[in-house]
Every structure is written in structure tokens, then in C-alpha cells.
A and B are shown apart, each in its own frame.
Chain A
Amino acid sequence: MAGLTSRNLAMFQGGVNMRLLPLSYATRNLGRTPSRMVLTIGGSMLVVLLVLAAGGFVTGMRKALVASGNENNTILLGVGSEESLERSEISMQAAGILAASLDGILNRAGVEGISPEIHLAMPVSLDESTDALGEGELMLVRGITHNAWIVHDEATLLTGRVGEAGRDEAVLGKLAARSLGFEPAENAIDRSIWIDGREIRVVGILTADSGVIEGEIWYPLTDLQVLSQRDAVSCVIVTRDGATPPQIAAFASRRLDLELAAIEEVDYFASLSAFYAPIRTMVLLTALLVGIGAIIGGLNSNYATFVSRIREMGTLQTLGYSRFAITISLLQESILASAVGALLACFIAIFILDGTAIRFSMGVFGLHIDTGVLAGGLLAGFLLGIAGALLPAWRCLTRPIPEALKTTI
């Protein structure tokens, strides 16, 4: 500032040139072409909705897998099937032998924390004809005994009761019920589902802290053995209460006749999560690519809009408004449109997307729209507004004022 004359200094101190255009100028410009405003808001809404859906997918899948592992549980499954319980088959006797061989296993009210289970992906239908055609929805059916409720302590009955063996009764996970079309999930109570030609009555709905169990159907083990015509079980899940993972691993390696492998439940789901990591990356990458496409579309649309107002920009500069002030106004206009779109997308995400059941090879999980995902969506909308307007504004405002004033578009 040392080289400034006193007149110039006074000019700077007055701050005349830093004054911005009124916000009403930006809001009214937005409504100048209603069709363009609707398209901009709609486009922004769709892009942000996609970002929210992608974020909800990734968060939901991760949450389901993380919430599914109990750090005191060890899974005993068939050697060579460590990556998938559904492929595993072990002897039904393994549970009894384990109970007799190992101390330090949870015992609650006389019921031991040893749960023999069958995990099967089977087509599930809401009517007999669909079932007969084999066109049911593929869902994970878990054959269980009462011990399962001790081993999986995150699983609790939301409503109804536990299914009894021999009576064709099942408990549906909350997401499994919604995935079958019961909204709310409680509507499934006393309704029938069809699995492999058998009519099964729903007697309870369970929740499990958003874990994968919420996407499963729990059916008495013996009934599932009959239905699937198999004697073997998929695994035995043990809840330790003093016993250590190496002790259980040692048991599995000693009993060569049972062909068992031991894996910690948290490790099993961690490996499952790692297995699906590329899918999550692809989903995010797709959202990113669509977002970039939307920004390019926004650049075109905004340039067409701004270029039609070049003479007006020249006039504003003639009046004394700086390029900075006009750029801010154009950014306000663009951000307002994208923010409205982003907010609409957030409402749709909260009230429609959140909790939507997604069928996947790992089972069913719910889209999870939490504050982090919402913040990501809003940020995407904000960036869309800025990135879509900055370059067109710069291109229009760098024209010399006399040239801008002569523009006749």
C-alpha cells in the first residue's frame, strides 16, 4: 500500500469494490428460466441421490459385516471351507464331542454356548405357485437350535416367538421380512412363506444390530435337515467363557476324524469384508464417475446460461462491480440450485433409501444413511454447484467490458 496516493488509499479504505451483489439478484436469476432451474435442481438431486445411495451401500455393507462378529465366538467349520460357511459340511456329532472335550464354554441357565447350524441359500416364495416354479428370492436360511440365541446374543426377538421344531415355524430377520415385501416387518407375523415346496409360518421377527442375521430366516435345525435332506451341519459356533481360541484350534486339529477348522467369528467377517472391498470401491468409483459427468453437464448448462447474460455482466462492471463480486453472485446462483437438489436428495435418502434391503451374495443388508453419508451427499452437492459454475463464470467475465457490452445474445 506504500505506493498509493492518499486518494487511492481512501478508496481502498472505503472498500467500495469489495461489495457484493445482493443475494436476491442470484435467487431471481435462478428463476429467470424455470425449465433450466428445474433441470439443474433435478440433475443435482439425482447425482447427490446416487452419491447417497453409494455411500449408504458401502456403509450398510460394512456395518452389517462389522456388526456380525462376536469377539468371544469361534466357528468350527469344514477344512477347506474357511471362506464360506454355505460350502461347509461337518458332522452333527461335532457339537456334542466339543461340549464333552472342552471346558470354558459359556453356559447360561444350563444351555451351553455351542450352536450347531446349517447355512443354506434357498429360494423363498410368498406363494406356492412361485415356489413350484423355483422362482423365489434366494435368501439365507439358517438352521438353528435354541442354543443359537445364546451364541448370537445380538439377535433378539422384535416381536412374536421362537419357532418350534416339527411345526414348520420360522423367525424372519427384520430385513429379510422387508426384502420379501412385508412393510413394516411385523406384518409378516402369521403369514406363510414357501421354501422348497414346504409352507412355513412366520412366528417371529428378529433384529441383530444391523448385522447380517437381520437378512436371514431362522428355521429349526432338524426341520431344515429334513427339508434339505442332509445329516451334516455347516458349522458349530462356540461362545468362549474361559477357553481360549488356541485351545479350540487345538481341539480342531487333534480331532482329525471330524475334519474341522477353527476360525474366530470376527476374523471370518473381516475376511468377508475384505473380499467385498473391491465391490465397495467399484460402487464409489461409479458414483464418482457419474458425479464428474454431472459436473461436465453442469459446465455446459451454466455456460449457456451465463453467456446469455454477458452484456448484463458488462453493465454491472461498468457500474463498478468487480469480477469477483459477479463471480460470487454466479456461484451463489449455482450453489443455491445444487443445494436445493442436494436437500431433496437427502430427504429422499432419509425417508426412502435408509434401511432399504439390498440382496447380495453375502445375504441381505440395509442401506445405511447416517450423518457421515448425508454430509458426503451435501458436500457433493456443494462441490457440484461450485465446480459447475466457476469455469463458465471465468470464461464469461474475462471478456473486455466494451466487448461484453456489444454482445447481443
Chain B
Amino acid sequence: MSLIECRKLSRIYNRGAEEIRPLDQLDLRIDAGGFVALMGPSGSGKTTLLNLLAGIDRPTSGELEIGGLSLGDLSRKELADWRSEQVGYVFQLYNLVPVLTAYENVELPLLLHPISSGERHRRVSAALDVVGIADRHSHYPRQLSGGQEQRVAIARAIVTEPTLLLADEPTGDLDRESATAVMELLSRLNKEQGRTVVMVTHDAKTAQYADVLLHLEKGRLIEQEEMAS
């Protein structure tokens, strides 16, 4: 059953007289519970597609449906609500809030939800446990290594139990050992919790954790590769 459907999805930017098309008439289906890696050279449209899936950018034309909901029809406020409920986003540079502790960073998305403080505490602790960083809950980002910061960022992304987990080069700023740990964590979240993961990566080793590789070039899907499990 497909979770994401793109039909003739285009995103066009105008830079002066020049028209830039990072996504050009893209057709794509991603199944629920899948682990998809988006690959391709710089400027191929990977991050643009990820931004559209996250609801932080809007298509210029075409249809984008996620879970049967057409994102193009939502207002900015509705999109923000939808993001807080349905999307977890992992950034390449972690993007933790430096003035908040690991616990508070993970708690941040939950403050948007009408749940009790007890329930919030339970969920934050569980998320920190899942990523194996519960013992660092009171540390500030500057007191953590890159790998630990990314684990906190993943905890923040999964704490709201989103339908869709998006990751933009999640290992791009990590050493090999930390990268392996992060990828194993994302793979476990996909397999054990059934979360749909869409990840942008340049790294072939990282891409091996995915079930499906999508190769983009000049804003179009040029190859879809099923990975052997």
C-alpha cells in the first residue's frame, strides 16, 4: 500500500531571468513501511523532493499526496500542524537547539501536542532509550559528540511517533563508526517500529541500509533499484 504518491511533481525557481527546475514532472510511489534512499548528483532534486515530502516547501505544479492527503491544498498553518503530527526530520547538521539539553530538545516537538507532562516525560524517556542516549539526557549539544547529537536528533524526530521519518544526509557529518551506528538505528526504527523512512544520501554504503534506491538526475527519476534484504 503506497503512503506517498507524486504525480507530475515539479518545483521551479526563478533566479532572475533563469528558470531552475530541481524537480521536473516527477512520478513516484513509496510504500508505507519502506526504507527509501534518494541518490543522485548535486542539483538532481533529492533535497527538494525531501523538503516537499516534509511539507516545508510547496510544489509549483503536480500532485503530492501523503496518506491520502494532498499537501498542496493545505494552508501554511495546516501544513505546520501536519508536520508536527506526521513528520520526523533528521538534518545533516543535527540542528539541535544549543540552549536546550538533550532531553529538552527531544521534548520540543511534543510541546505542540495536548498531552500531559507525565505522558510527555514517558515518551521523551522512551525515545532517548531507543537511541541509546538516555544517560546523556541532561547534556547540552556542545557537550555531545557528533554521533551523539545525531542520536538526539533522531530521538526528537521519532518522539511524536510520526508516520514518515525523513533524513537529509544523516551521516554526512559523521565518522564511519558513528555513521554505522546511526544507520543501524534508522534501520531498526524502520524494521521494528514500521516507520517509513526516506533518506537523502550521497554515500553508497549508507544507501545499502535502504530497501529501495531511487536515482534522481535533473529532477527526474532515472532508476529505481530494489535492494536485496
A residues near B91, Cβ cutoff 8 Å: 315, 405
What is the CB-to-nearest-CB distance from A362 to chain B, in angstroms, rounded to a whole number?
54
| Chain A CB within 8 A of B113 CB | yes
Contacting residue for B95 out of A25, A312, A320, A402, CB 8 A:
A312
Given contacts A19-B112, A320-B109, contact A402 B78 (CB under 8 A): no
Q: How far, in whole Å, are A400 and B11 apart by their CA atoms in the complex?
A: 14
Q: How far, in whole Å, are A14 and B115 apart by their CA atoms in the complex?
A: 11
Q: How far, in whole Å, are A316 and B91 apart by their CA atoms in the complex?
A: 12
The answer on a CB contact under 8 Å between A319 and B84 is yes
The answer on a CB contact under 8 Å between B81 and A318 is no
Per DSSP, are chain B's interface residues mostly helix, strand or loop, or mixed? helix
The answer on a CB contact under 8 Å between A28 and B80 is no
The answer on a CB contact under 8 Å between A22 and B51 is no
| Chain B CB within 8 A of A274 CB | no
Given contacts A25-B99, A29-B99, contact A320 B112 (CB under 8 A): yes
B residues near A316, Cβ cutoff 8 Å: 97, 108
B residues near A32, Cβ cutoff 8 Å: 98-99
The answer on a CB contact under 8 Å between A317 and B84 is no
| Chain B CB within 8 A of A97 CB | no
| Chain B CB within 8 A of A322 CB | yes
Contacting residue for B99 out of A11, A28, A401, CB 8 A:
A28
Q: How far, in whole Å, are A320 and B113 apart by their CA atoms in the complex?
A: 10
The answer on a CB contact under 8 Å between A402 and B81 is no
Q: How large is the interface on B (under 10, 10 to 19, 20 to 34, 35 or more residues)?
A: 20 to 34
| Chain A CB within 8 A of B15 CB | no
What is the CB-to-nearest-CB distance from B190 to chain A, in angstroms, rounded to a whole number?
21
The answer on a CB contact under 8 Å between B111 and A21 is yes
The answer on a CB contact under 8 Å between B99 and A321 is no
> Chain B, 58-89, contact with A by CB distance < 8 Å: what is the 0/1 string?
00000000000100001001101111110101
- Contacts between the two chains (Cβ within 8 Å), count: 86
Contacting residue for B57 out of A16, A21, A321, A401, CB 8 A:
A401
Q: How far, in whole Å, are A25 and B104 apart by their CA atoms in the complex?
A: 10
Q: How far, in whole Å, are A315 and B57 apart by their CA atoms in the complex?
A: 13
The answer on a CB contact under 8 Å between B54 and A11 is no
B residues near A14, Cβ cutoff 8 Å: 81, 113-114
Contacting residue for B111 out of A19, A29, A400, A401, CB 8 A:
A19
Q: How far, in whole Å, are A316 and B100 apart by their CA atoms in the complex?
A: 13
| Chain A CB within 8 A of B56 CB | yes
| Chain B CB within 8 A of A7 CB | yes
A residues near B83, Cβ cutoff 8 Å: 318-320
The answer on a CB contact under 8 Å between A311 and B95 is yes
| Chain B CB within 8 A of A8 CB | yes
Contacting residue for A400 out of B57, B95, B97, B108, CB 8 A:
B57
The answer on a CB contact under 8 Å between A16 and B113 is yes
Q: Which residue of A lies closest to B99 (CB)?
A: A28
Q: Enumerate A1-55 residues with CB–CB distance to B below 8 Å.
A: 7-8, 11, 14-17, 19, 21-22, 24-25, 28-29, 31-32
B residues near A315, Cβ cutoff 8 Å: 91, 95, 97
> Chain A, 252-290, contact with B by CB distance < 8 Å: what is the 0/1 string?
000000000000000000000000000000000000000
The answer on a CB contact under 8 Å between B78 and A319 is no
The answer on a CB contact under 8 Å between A17 and B84 is yes
Instruction: Sort A-B residue pairs by CB-CB distance and give the 5 closest, nearest first.
Output: A320-B84, A28-B99, A401-B56, A315-B95, A11-B81
Given contacts A11-B81, A22-B104, A319-B89, 15 further A-B contacts (CB under 8 A): A8-B74, A11-B85, A15-B114, A16-B81, A16-B112, A16-B114, A21-B111, A25-B99, A312-B95, A312-B97, A315-B91, A319-B112, A321-B84, A322-B80, A402-B48
Instruction: Sample 26 A-B pairs with CB under 8 A, ordered by A number.
Output: A8-B78, A11-B81, A14-B113, A16-B81, A16-B85, A17-B77, A17-B112, A19-B112, A21-B111, A32-B98, A32-B99, A311-B95, A314-B56, A315-B97, A319-B89, A319-B109, A319-B112, A319-B156, A320-B81, A320-B83, A320-B84, A320-B109, A321-B84, A322-B77, A322-B80, A400-B57
